[in-house]
Amino acid sequence: MMRLPLGKVPSDVLRDTVFKNLGAFREEVVLGSAIGCDGAVLEVGNKSVIVSMDPITGALERLGFEAVVVNANDVATFGVLPLFLFSCILLPEGADSKMVESISVQIGAAAKELGIAIVGGHCETTSKVCSPVVVCCVVGLADKGEYVTAASARAGDLLILTKSAGIEGTAILATDQEAQLSKVLSPEMLQSAKDFYSQLCVVKDALTAFKVGGVHAMHDPTEGGIFNGIHEMADAAKLGVEIFEEDIVVKPETKKICDHFEIDPLQLISSGALLIAIEPNTASKIIETLKHENIYASIIGKFNSTPGKRFLKTKTKKKINLPRPVTDHLWKALSQK
């Protein structure tokens, strides 16, 4: 028996335990539970149904917003527009109707902005949680087969990253550790870091790139940051990869915060960024199209056919094995006194 780290359950536990208990076989399931894939694909008639579900805990003022966005992101990484949402809201003892209203208003506003209809769910108070938990399930529809998965990358594909590393982690630490960080960051930089929450959605990133063409796979790097997201894509596709550290953007706010907590921005939760595996001859067109939508993107690496060859070319030109995070560095920062 192993003690689990904070955050996602390790991949080997998923493989050895969770994935061995998946109920009955259904022929409609084209893609079920799989490492690196953040959604399922069901084929119903002439449609492919994309389904994703994730929980969110956190500060009340953005809990509902994040619950919608992270699940919409997962569906969008298939190149599919998110359309429908179910929510489950679990509230601690002592919660009042104002808390329900606050979360529901956020869910409703975020869903409306993304064109998502809220079609059902559940809400209850329970003594088993000490702070609110929101679990959302988002569904998208595509013509049969008109989607990509995180497992579809090919040897020779270039790897693009949109925006920058550690976006969500930067926002969380700037907000939750404000008192500590106010001693090392200017008020302007601290506020800018908090405002990273506005960058969490990758629906436009994903749909814009997919529409251009040449996209083989997409994945949003959440827990474990950029490095873990890359490993998840490579695991799913059974590929190797070489990454160029100098081409990964780390914003000044993120660097300053990570330096303070002595953590790695490339192993910090990075919702808001998007990893895209593409045919080399479409790279410039995708990057230019994203730029036209005010979304920065850069080529950060290239996939190869050998799963055991996963390297990082550091800023100092050293070639090392691509680090695989044991746990997200957000937890390292939050555990510091």
The fraction of the chain above a pLDDT of 90, given in percent, is: 87
What's the gap between Cα 213 and its chain centre? 22
Is the backbone of residue 130 left (phi > 0), alpha (psi -120 to 50) or beta? alpha
Interatomic CA distance for residues 232 and 228, integer angstroms: 6
Model confidence at 336, pLDDT cuts 50, 70, 90, reads confident
5 half-sphere exposure, CB direction, 13 A CA radius = 18
Nearest to 76 by CA among 217, 203, 197: 203
Ranked by mean pLDDT, which of 3-17, 49-63, 320-334 comes out on top?
320-334
Buried b (16+ CB within 10 A) or exposed e, 10-45: ebeeeeeeeeeeeeeeeeeeebeebebbbbbbbeee
| Residue 178, token pair as written in the block | 């404000």
The pTM for the full model equals 0.93
pLDDT in tens, 19-32: 899 999 999 999 98
Q: How confident is the model at residue 55 (pLDDT cuts 50, 70, 90)?
A: very high
| pLDDT greater than 80 at residue 182 | yes
Confidence of residue 153 (pLDDT cuts 50, 70, 90): very high
Average pLDDT over residues 249-269: 98
Could you tell me which residue, 332 or 38, shows the higher pLDDT? Answer: 332
Residue 35 has pLDDT above 90, yes or no: no
Report, as an integer, the average pLDDT of 307-328.
95
pLDDT in tens, 225-241: 999 999 999 999 999 99
pLDDT of residue 244: 98
Distance CA 205, CA 209 (A): 6
Residue 188's Cβ-count burial label (10 Å; 0-12, 13-18, 19+) is exposed
Q: How confident is the model at residue 284 (pLDDT cuts 50, 70, 90)?
A: very high
pLDDT at 275: 98
Mean pLDDT, rounded, for 143-164:
97
What average pLDDT does the segment 56-66 reach?
Answer: 84
Write down the pLDDT at residue 93.
95
What domains lie within the chain, and their CATH numbers? 11-143 (3.30.1330.10), 158-334 (3.90.650.10)
- 6: pLDDT strictly greater than 80: no
More confident residue, 18 or 50: 50
Q: What is the pLDDT of residue 57?
A: 83
Residue 61 or 194, more confident: 194
Task: Provide the percentage of residues in the chain whose pLDDT is more than 70.
Answer: 99
Report yes or no: 302 and 292 within 8 Å, Cβ to Cβ: no
pLDDT score, position 337: 63
- Average pLDDT of 105-115? 97
The tokens describing 112, both together, are: 């409306």
Query: Is there a contact between 35 and 18 (Cβ–Cβ < 8 Å)?
Result: no
Mean pLDDT taken over the chain: 95
